[in-house]
Structure 1
Amino acid sequence: MTSPVPCSFWPHARRPSSPVRCCSSTAGGPLSDRAVIEHAQGGRLPLLSPSDLDPAGRRLYDEIIAPPRGDGPFLVVDDDGLLAGPFNALLYSPALGQAVSALGASLRFAGTLENRTRELVVCLIAAVYGCEYEWYAHSRVAATVGITPLELRALDQGVTPETATEAEASALAFALALVRGRAVDAATHARAEQHHGHAGLVEITILAGYYQLLAGLLIAFDVPAPSGVTEVSS
């Protein structure tokens, strides 16, 4: 059963005029395997090359591009060695950037949430904020964990996918309450706690906060998806 989302779900100042896009399956896999070569774009921040970096920045750069993040299904570093999305922004403040990068890696690669649950929540936040890079990246990750184009379309249109499990739907409702209403009512909390427990709700809350932080970076510096991306309507 789908759950309609009120119009206030979308921050109209940031919502794209065209539908959020879902990248085609040809774009997955390591950069060398992609049919279309993609290039990082920094928005309002100049792209920093490795030669521009001090030792702390270079350590962060090397950490960001290393597997498993660096060889995932979306562009992190392009053929010119330039970082895409929020990762270039993190290089401007290596100490803070390292902490942000480490938290993201922990959530994505060492968290306890089911992969589908995590990526549904991340794509929800990308859709709420209208963040092109965040949607570009995590719609690709979503495809690798079994989230379908129809499920992504539902999130884009502001509804819970009909195919979501009750556990997934409860996580989406909990995250939406945090993002949209900045308050979680007792019923929404109880429903999500039944499926995810206290530890799971802490993780969902941190997950939502982290991807809102990245959305803030992407919005503040008007960072788009990489150039050369092949897109289809979600």
Structure 2
Amino acid sequence: MLHPDRMPPLSLEQMDEAQRAAAQALIAGPRKAVKGPFIALLRSPLLMDRLQRVGEYIRFDSSLPPRLSEFAMLVVARACTQQFEWFVHVPLARKAGTSAETIEAVRCGRRPTDMHADEALVYDFTHELLAHSGVCDTTYAIAVGRLGERGVVDLTGLIGYFLTVSLVLNVAHTPPEETDDVVALPTLPL
């Protein structure tokens, strides 16, 4: 069932001075537009500004290779049934080298069987962190061994950032920008 967009885009006339400044800063950066979660976040321009800077690091400067970052984003989008992020990141994950079979398994809520070892690590780390708000010593040791401490912190930050963004999008009912080559996430049983 489609829900109405609770926080549609604001026109320039609807924005106060702080909102206009935050929107202009976002447009001037690598995102080039106010879209997705930033439409809702613009209601709190200081939060949007701070959060988008974290997201800019996560997306464009993290120590994680794009294939792992994009894959982790898909796992979080699936966990939150977040369509906007799913439609944005599936093409990016494909481009970064994640297989169609892996993406489809994540979409359907299954642990993929054809993952590379580093993807399996990211999948397991993300699931464990989301389920338990932490990871066990074994998962931590494997992650540090593969990603280093910086990589573990960057992966944890990415998961937290995209969880926050997904929750904002879910509360706002922000509609996805659907594309023909991406299949929407099905609703999974609770």
TM-score range, shorter chain: 0.7 to 0.9
1:1-234 correspondence to structure 2 within 5 Å? 43-66=5-28, 68-70=30-32, 77=33, 83-226=34-177, 229-230=179-180, 232-233=182-183
Shift of residue 110, structure 1, vs aligned partner:
0.8
- Matched-pair contact (CA < 8 Å) for 1:193–1:201: yes
Instruction: Give, in whole Å, the separation in 1 of the partners of 2:40 and 2:126.
Output: 25
**RMSD, aligned CA:** 2.2
Runs of 4+ with deviation above 4 angstroms: none
CA separation of 1:66 and 1:230: change in aligned 2, threshold 3 A = farther
Instruction: Give, in whole Å, the separation in 1 of the partners of 2:151 and 2:35.
Output: 30
CA separation of 1:172 and 1:216: change in aligned 2, threshold 3 A = same
Instruction: Give, in whole Å, the separation in 1 of the partners of 2:4 and 2:144.
Output: 39
Q: Deviations over 1:99-152 (max 9, x none)?
A: 011110111001110110001100000011101111111112212212232221
Letter in 2 for 1:57: Q
CA separation of 1:130 and 1:56: change in aligned 2, threshold 3 A = same
- Matched-pair contact (CA < 8 Å) for 1:42–1:84: no
Instruction: Give, in whole Å, the separation in 2 of the partners of 1:135 and 1:98.
Output: 23
CA separation of 1:231 and 1:144: change in aligned 2, threshold 3 A = closer
- Matched-pair contact (CA < 8 Å) for 1:42–1:85: no
Structure 1, unpaired ranges of 5+? 1-15, 17-40, 71-76, 78-82
CA separation of 1:46 and 1:156: change in aligned 2, threshold 3 A = closer
Instruction: Give, in whole Å, the separation in 2 of the partners of 1:92 and 1:185.
Output: 38
Q: Deviations over 1:191-225 (max 9, x none)?
A: 11110111111111111000010111011122221
Structure 2, unpaired ranges of 5+? 185-190
What fraction of aligned residue pairs are identical, expressed as a percent? 29
- Matched-pair contact (CA < 8 Å) for 2:101–2:114: no
Q: TM-score scaled by structure 1?
A: 0.71
Larger proportion of helix: 2
Q: TM-score scaled by structure 2?
A: 0.86
Q: Deviations over 1:161-194 (max 9, x none)?
A: 3443222211221111111222311211111111
Count residues in correspondence. Answer: 183
Instruction: Give, in whole Å, the separation in 2 of the partners of 1:122 and 1:97.
Output: 19
- Matched-pair contact (CA < 8 Å) for 2:73–2:159: yes
Instruction: Give, in whole Å, the separation in 2 of the partners of 1:127 and 1:85.
Output: 17
Instruction: Give, in whole Å, the separation in 1 of the partners of 2:161 and 2:118.
Output: 21
